[in-house]
Amino acid sequence: GAGVSQSPRYKVAKRGQDVALRCDPISGHVSLFWYQQALGQGPEFLTYFQNEAQLDKSGLPSDRFFAERPEGSVSTLKIQRTQQEDSAVYLCASSLFPRTSSYNEQFFGPGTRLTVL
CB of 10 to other proteins, least distance (A): 10
Nearer to other proteins, 38 or 117 (CB): 38
Nearer to other proteins, 56 or 68 (CB): 56
CB of 57 to other proteins, least distance (A): 11
Nearer to other proteins, 2 or 14 (CB): 2
Contacts of 103 (CB under 8 A, 6+ apart): none
Whole-angstrom CA distances from 14 to 11, 17, 18, 52, 81 are 10, 6, 9, 31, 9
Nearer to other proteins, 27 or 101 (CB): 101
Residue 103 CA to its chain's centroid (Å): 22
SS3 of the chain: helix, strand, coil, percent, to 5: 5, 50, 50
CB of 108 to other proteins, least distance (A): 4
- The angle formed by the CA atoms of residues 39, 61 and 8, to the nearest 5 degrees, is 55
8 vs 50: CA distance, rounded Å: 23
CB of 13 to other proteins, least distance (A): 19
* Interaction site with other proteins (CB under 8 A): 4, 31, 33, 35, 40-45, 48, 50, 55-56, 59, 91, 93, 95, 98-111
